[in-house]
């Protein structure tokens, strides 16, 4: 079981390097498997690789959180519209400031607005986004999973 202890992020955020992919896929699968165990995320491992490649080709920027020599999280942000398609932190690093650091990096890329869709069943993520100043603006359905999602938006105050 992952325990949360709030502390500041003691690492750095860097631009995505294709060499990051294998590690990112592994902690993405682990994180989502803990969050939604009813879905086989291992079967979606290759989807993530293709998806990140497509996002990057469309102009989305990808940032990776590093602590020491370890990759511990990543975020994707489209600077044209502020859409955050992915934000993920390795489960061993939950509650240790990584997600906050990734959001800071996303806000640097899109300082006027961030928006995302979050699964309605992901209460932990919803609480995090609300704590970070995001507000719920709409509901819809994820076209890949068919699950209900909430659109959340952050704008500077």
User: Is 118 inside any structural domain?
Assistant: yes
Crossing angle between the packed helical segments 45-57 and 21-35, to the nearest 10 degrees: 120
Quick one: which of 38, 4, 154 has its CA closest to 87? Answer: 154
Domain CATH number, residue 89:
3.40.630.30
User: Is 2 inside any structural domain?
Assistant: no
**pLDDT tens digits along 65-124:** 999 989 999 999 999 999 999 999 999 999 999 999 999 999 999 999 999 999 999 999
DSSP annotation string for 101-132: HHHHHHHHHSTT-EEEEEETT-HHHHHHHHHT
User: Is 4 inside any structural domain?
Assistant: no
Long-range pairs of 29-33 with CB within 8 A, sequence gap ≥ 24: 30/90, 30/91, 31/88, 31/89, 31/90, 31/91, 32/88
User: Is 7 inside any structural domain?
Assistant: no
Structural domain tally of the chain? 1
**pLDDT tens digits along 1-41:** 343 444 678 899 999 999 999 999 999 999 999 998 988 99
φ/ψ of residue 31, rounded to 5: -65, -50
User: Is 5 inside any structural domain?
Assistant: no
Residue range of the domain that includes 28: 12-154
């Amino acid at each position: 079981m992952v325990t949360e202890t709030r502390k500041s992020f003691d690492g750095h955020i860097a631009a995505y390097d294709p060499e990051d992919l294998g590690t990112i896929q592994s902690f993405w699968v682990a994180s989502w498997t803990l969050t939604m165990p009813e879905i086989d995320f291992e079967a979606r491992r290759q989807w993530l690789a293709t998806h990140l490649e497509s996002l990057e080709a469309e102009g989305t920027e990808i940032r990776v959180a590093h602590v020491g020599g370890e990759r511990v999280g990543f975020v994707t942000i489209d600077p044209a519209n502020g859409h955050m398609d992915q934000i993920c932190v390795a489960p061993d690093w939950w509650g240790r400031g990584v997600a906050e650091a990734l959001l800071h990096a996303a806000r640097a890329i899109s300082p006027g607005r961030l928006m995302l869709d979050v699964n309605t069943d992901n209460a932990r993520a919803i609480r995090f986004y609300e704590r970070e100043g995001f507000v719920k603006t709409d509901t819809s359905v994820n076209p890949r999973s068919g699950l209900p999602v909430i659109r959340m938006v952050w704008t500077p105050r």
